[in-house]
Structure formats: C-alpha cells, structure tokens
Structure 1
Amino acid sequence: MSATDEPESTTELAPGENLAVLRKERGLTQVQLARRANVSLSLLSKIEVGDRTLTPAVAAAVGKPMGLTMAEVLGKAAVAKGKKRSLTHLRAALRDYDLPGLESVPVGQLSTDMEQAHKHRKQMNVSQLLGVLPKLLRDATTHAHTTNTAEAWTDLSEVYSTVYWVAARHRWMDMAELAVTRQRWAVEQHPTPIGVAVAARDRAGTYLNFGDVERGLTLIDRAIIDAQQALSGTDRDIAVCILNLRGMTLAGRLKDKREAKREAERHIRSAVATSDTMGNRDRDVLGLTVGPQNVFTHRLATYVDLGKPRDALSLTDDLSAALDGLPPTRVAPTHINVARAQLDVGDRDGALKSLSVAWDVAPQMARIHPMGREVFRVVSSLHRRSNPELTRLSKLSGIGL
C-alpha cells in the first residue's frame, strides 16, 4: 500500500445509504434481499429511504446473503485527512512485530509516549492518535524484545489494543484482526491474567464487528472462567467486569431476542456485582475504563440493542451525573445511544439534541461512528425541513440534508 492509499471500500455514506448501494451493486431487489436475510421488506425499505435506522443486528443479517460482514455493511470509515502516510507506517509496524529496532528505547520516553497516546484515545483525538501510533508501536516492540519483562510485554499488548481500537472504530477489520492477533502474541510472551483478559475482550470485539456474536460470547464466557481461576480480589473483579461489558454488548445483538435478553441480563448482573466493589468512580486498566459508570453506559446501549428504548431512557433521569468524569470515548457514544432510543420512541427533537451533545463532546468520533451517522440521517429525513442545528450537523458529518 502506498502512502496515498486508503483502506479498501471506504465510504462517506451513512449505513442505510451504504446498504442500498451494496444491494444494487449485487443486482438484488429489496424483495430478494429481505427474503434471503429473513428481515421484513417494509423494514428494509424504510432503512434505505431513511425512515428507520440500520441497526448493527440488521446489518449483520443483511450482510450474510451478500457475503459481507456487519462492518462492511455499516461502511468502513476513510482515514483522517493528512493521515494516510501514518496509516501506511502503522501497517508496516504491525508487520514488523518480531523485528525490534537496533537502538534501545529510554523507558521514560516510552512511558511519556504511551501516556500521550492514552490521552488522545480518551479525548477521541483520532487523527492525533493515528499520527503517534506507528512510532509508539515500534518503540514498544523494541523495548519488549530488549528487556523481556512482563511489564514491557504488557505495555506492548496495550499498544496493540489501542491499534485495535482505532481500526475497529473505522471498521478496518483486516487491521483489527491482525492487531488482536499480535496483542495475544505479546501477552503470551510473559502472561499476566489481566493482560490475557483484555486480549480476550478485544478478540471478542472482532467477532462483534463481523456480526458473529455467538462465537464472541463463547470466547467471553471462556475468558471469564479463566480470569476467575487465575485471579482473586479486586483484580478478579476488574477482569470479570471488563469481560462482562463485552459480553452484554454481544448478547444484545443475538438474533433470538428471548435468548438475547436472558444472556444480556446475565452479563449485566455480573458486571454490576463486580463493579460495585470498585467504588463510585471508574478506573483505567490497560487503556480501558472499568467501573460502575461504564457498566451504566454499556447497560443503556444494550437495552437499545435489545429493542427496549424505554428501558434505556429510564436510566437517563440524571444523565449528566451518571457520566460525570467519564472520558469522551464513553460520553459521546452514550449520547448517540440515547438518540437512538429517543428516535425509536418518536422523539425526533430529543434525538437531535442528543446527537448535538455527542458531536460537541467528541466530533472526531461522531464523524466515524456508524450509529451517530445513521441516526442523524434518519433524524434529518424525518424532520423534512432544515433548521440551524440540522444544517450544522450536516456540515460536520458530511451527510447532506
């Protein structure tokens, strides 16, 4: 890939629009796709014209008969302007996982650079993060090979986790899969139970993005058992909570909604129980946020995925307090999920307000977040008439009115 290349098949279309393009490219009628995907023709039609949102579960269902993953249906996001060269360098660093540099890396410098990357990630400065990741990955690789300590290999696995996070946010699933494979490899050089749990969580995330939620849940349940056997006390609660957060998201997207509800509630109960031991505020663990507040955000999102928007909205009586202190990486998606729930109950004005908050909190995330773009597409379609806020978000998102 040259310095001017982007990931293949990127799109600036919102997911529902992208679905219509993909269907037509394959010569399928709406009737044919609806029948093969076992979804309602009326629903498919409304999704394509912008009257209903394309949810992740439906995206996975319609993707299968077209030979596409959920991520491909939602649409791969293009690389940030001016960062194509950084993406090329990052891919090269991923290939060179066993080729450390010739010069040692000062520990203090590596720690500073990791903290900078962590800050960019929490603040959702995606383009800035992509700019520093290639060098950080090479330096962490060199340091791990040179010192060969558990701490150094854990640091490297954390960097790979961040690479996975960037790739998954853009739906660059080839890079995401490679990153989690490298992450697991790094962890196995000097295993730590927490590092193993985070690697399992990220690997399950690739199954989530491919729409293969059943296998993802199998991975999570296996990892929970391993964590319970390998850890004790607070460390065990942290690992189990991290895994349950992924578990409830996967469960919420099961096709059988009765099973989805049962499995989601099982993971929610476990996540609540383990997070209750961590105090009132969340903590950072290998680049992840874990604690009662993040359990709240995942629970709300899971209710939306389960088709229970009123249950999700019942959690939002004091949303500001619930999200206080959380990073933009958690605040913005939560407001997007609130917007989804509001749209599902017919509150178009509320959905627009929630989207506005998400864009203000983390504009770079909102631009690449598939549901943020999709909800805005439907909200703008249903409003019929433009207004200043619709116009503002249209310009920021690149989605025409």
Structure 2
Amino acid sequence: MNKPTGKEVDPRDRALGQRVAKLRKERGMTQQELAARLNGRSAGWMSQVERGIQPVRRVDVLQEIADALGVSIQMLDPSSPIFTPSVPPVTEATNDLDGARTVISGHPAIGLITGVEESGAIDLGALEESVEQIWEYTHRNAYPEISETIAALLPQLERAVRTVPAPDRPVAYRNLARAYQALAAAFARQGDSRSSWVSADRAVAAGERSGDIFLVHAGIFRMVHAFVRLGHNQEAEHAVTEAVAALQRRADLPPEGLSVLGSLHLAKALVHARSGQRSEARAELESARRVAEQIGEDRNDYNLEFGPTNVMIQTVSTALDLGDAGEALDIGQSIDAASLSPERQARLLMDLGRAHAQRRHTPDAVECLLRAEEMSPDLVRQHSAARAAIRELLLVSGPKASADLVALAARASAAE
C-alpha cells in the first residue's frame, strides 16, 4: 500500500478513487485523457487520486472531475459524506426539457416523408410568432414552457420547410434554424451538452438553407458552446476559428454581422479560458471589445445580445474561468446591465456570487445568488456553475450556514 505521508489511506479517498477509475474505464478513457480534461492536472495526479493517496475534498475539483466524466458529483462517491449532515445536499435537478429531447430524438417529419400523414395548412406568420415565444422562454430559462411549446411547434416547423412554396422556404428555414438555436441554448444551460450539440447542428443546416450566412454563424456559436461543455475544446476551437476567419474576410459587415463576429470572439475567449490559455483568452476579449466599440450599442441580433455591456459580462465570466475572482469582482461591480434581458442580468449576478464564493465572502455570495434567483429562478437553481457555488458555500459554512443559504440549497435541490 502506498503511504507517502506515513498514514493509512483514508477509506473515503480509496472509495472515491475506485469510483473514478471505474467510471473512467467504462468510458474507454486513459488516465492521461481524463487528466487532460481537467485544468492543470497530470496523469500522475490522476493515478494518485484513483489509488486513494491524493485526497480530493474541494467541491469545485470534484465537480470538475464529474463534468469530465459526464456524471453528477454524487455518482463519484455516493457513500462519502461530502456535505455536512445538518445541511441538505444539492442533488441533480430533474431536467425539464425531457419533452424537447424526445421530439428531437427521431426524424422530425417521418410521417410526412413516408406519405402516411397530410401536411396541413401552414401559417408562416404564426410559426414565426411561436419561435419568438420560444426565445422569450429561453431568455427567462423557463424550461417547462420551452419543452411543452417546442413539442408541438418543432414538427410544424419541419413540415413547413418541406411543404411551403419555394419562394417561402427561406423564411420557413429561418424559423426552423432559430427554433433549434433556442433549443441549443436551453439544453446548454441545463448541462445537456449532447442534446445542445444535436440542436446546434440542425440549426446550422437549416440556417444555410435559409440563405442567411449570419444565421449559420450564430448556429456555430451555439455549437461551440456545446463543444465546450462536452470538454471537446479542440473541436470548439476549430469550429470557432474557421467561423471568425470567414467573417473577417468579408468587407463592410453590417451591424448584425458585427454582432455575430463579436459573439464568436467571446466564444473563442471561452474556449481559451477553459483551456487555461490566459493571453489567448484576453486577446479574444479585446477583439470582441473592438467590435463592440465599432457597433457602439448593445444589440440583440440573432438573440446573441452582443454589445459593450455583454463584453464586460463575458470578461467577468472569463476571469472566473481563469481563477481571477478579484478581477471578476472589480469589473462586475461596475457594470450596468439594466438594458439587457433578465437572463443576462441574472447571469452577471450569478457570476458575482461565484466570485464572492471563491473569495470566501459568503454573505455577499448568498446575496448575489438570491438576487439572481429572484430575477431568473431556473438559471440559479439548475445552472451547473451556480449549483457548484452553492455546494462550495455549504461546505465552507458547515453547521453555521445561514437560513437563506440552506433555503437556497433546498430550492436548488428540489428544482423540478
């Protein structure tokens, strides 16, 4: 038995290591491949974790390993007392997008192409209004409403692109692409990266057939975020680099094109930040800032909400990804996001809460998270980053956790 410190291996650490090794092997991954998905970790460190001689007690590190394996944090070691017994643990939330996931599981119009059902009348105007409603739900993180609406809407959109007269098909494909982009965004926020990837891929295909090149690039933006959440940073960087280069080769981009270009720079900054590439991430943020200055205002082209304010919000998120909580607080507390959607405002507050949590400013962290929850309940209760921050706050506070924190944890645990 390895005893590098002269002490017996803690049974909890041995149990955790065995569970990590089992899950890793089930996924056909080597220790080196799993370590590569973690920030700053080596195959040697992973080997020590699996042998139980390297304790992993920090919740953020446990969450990082869980994300890399594609499991919940509880699956790593369900018997280990990660949380203080007097404080309710935060369990994984039920995914309210099950209906949406079901509707994209098969061919979206199999009855129509097989000839066993009629297409029916198509009202493109009404379909467009329904897509706008889907985006409204997405910005509010209203997952049950998204799932219920999209289950009926998506088959209609798929029928429309196959049956409307040729002159109307660009509009029909635009509606379809925007609906899939909304789904990709919603799935990504709930942590269902694979469904987000599928939706984004379909959005790109529909966007191309709509004839709107910027709609295609907006779909790639959604795909990049799905790749990042899957831990496929190489694929994410390839997709976003090619998209940025293609737009940069076009002269005199209109404002909506600039919005997409700036958003892609932000996505590329995210890719670099998640890979620990500080200088590259900051360079992309600077590129996005220059594009935002060129536009001169906050816009919402293709539901990307790009502009000077969103660049600042992304700068806060990037600082957090790079472990610079102090910088995130310095920047974030000076941002006025009142002109943006409730989702973006809540995201800023959530990130400020995460930053305070990293600095062990528990009361400030809880206050920010509660304000974010008031503005967008599902974002805080179901977003993986917010839930990880709540776990960390509970772990640090222990039996002294405030009533507000315990109640917030309970709501996150019970989120349906």
Q: Same fold by TM-score, threshold 0.5 exceeded?
A: yes
Shift of the alpha carbon at 1:334? 2.0
1-side partners of 2:153 and 2:372: how far apart? 29
- The aligned residue for residue 397 of structure 1 is 412
- The aligned residue for residue 145 of structure 2 is 128
Shift of the alpha carbon at 1:300? 0.5
The partner residue of 1:314 within 306, 309, 330 is: 330
Change (3 A) 1:35 1:86: closer
Change (3 A) 1:334 1:211: same
- The aligned residue for residue 43 of structure 2 is 36
**Contact 2:207–2:213 (Cα < 8 Å) also in 1:** no
Shift of the alpha carbon at 1:309? 1.2
Q: For 1:165, what is the secondary structure of its paired residue?
A: helix
**Contact 1:101–1:138 (Cα < 8 Å) also in 2:** no
- The aligned residue for residue 294 of structure 1 is 310
Query: 1:86-101 to 2 correspondence within 5 Å?
Result: 87-92=101-106, 94=108, 96=110, 99=113
Query: 1:133-212 to 2 correspondence within 5 Å?
Result: 133-145=150-162, 146-148=164-166, 149-212=169-232
Partner AA of 2:256 in structure 1: D
Partner AA of 1:46 in structure 2: R
**Contact 1:126–1:365 (Cα < 8 Å) also in 2:** no
The partner residue of 2:20 within 17, 23, 41 is: 23
1-side partners of 2:125 and 2:154: how far apart? 15
TM-score by length of 1: 0.79
The CA deviation string for residues 165-218 of structure 1, in whole angstroms up to 9 with x for no partner, is 222222223322221221122123243220121121122122101112233122
Aligned-pair Cα RMSD in Å = 3.2
Task: Report whether the alignment pairs 1:262 with 2:282.
Answer: no
- The aligned residue for residue 239 of structure 1 is 260
Q: 5+ unaligned residues in a row in structure 2: which ranges?
A: 1-15, 26-30, 36-40, 76-91
Shift of the alpha carbon at 1:242? 1.5
Give the paired residue count: 359
- The aligned residue for residue 276 of structure 1 is 293
Q: For 1:326, what is the secondary structure of its paired residue?
A: coil
Report % sequence identity.
Answer: 17
**Contact 2:224–2:236 (Cα < 8 Å) also in 1:** yes
Q: For 2:401, what is the secondary structure of its paired residue?
A: coil
Q: For 2:300, what is the secondary structure of its paired residue?
A: strand
Shift of the alpha carbon at 1:240? 0.9
300-309 or 121-130, larger mean C-alpha shift: 121-130
- The aligned residue for residue 336 of structure 1 is 350
Change (3 A) 1:268 1:84: closer
Task: Report whether the alignment pairs 1:345 with 2:359.
Answer: yes
Shift of the alpha carbon at 1:90? 4.6
Shift of the alpha carbon at 1:310? 1.2
Q: 5+ unaligned residues in a row in structure 1: which ranges?
A: 1-18
2-side partners of 1:344 and 1:43: how far apart? 22
- The aligned residue for residue 45 of structure 1 is 56
Change (3 A) 1:187 1:27: closer
1-side partners of 2:24 and 2:248: how far apart? 50
Task: Report whether the alignment pairs 1:106 with 2:145.
Answer: no
**Contact 1:193–1:230 (Cα < 8 Å) also in 2:** no
TM-score by length of 2: 0.76
**Contact 2:184–2:195 (Cα < 8 Å) also in 1:** yes
Change (3 A) 1:162 1:317: closer
1-side partners of 2:146 and 2:159: how far apart? 20
**Contact 1:77–1:171 (Cα < 8 Å) also in 2:** no
Query: 1:222-237 to 2 correspondence within 5 Å?
Result: 222-230=242-250, 232-237=253-258
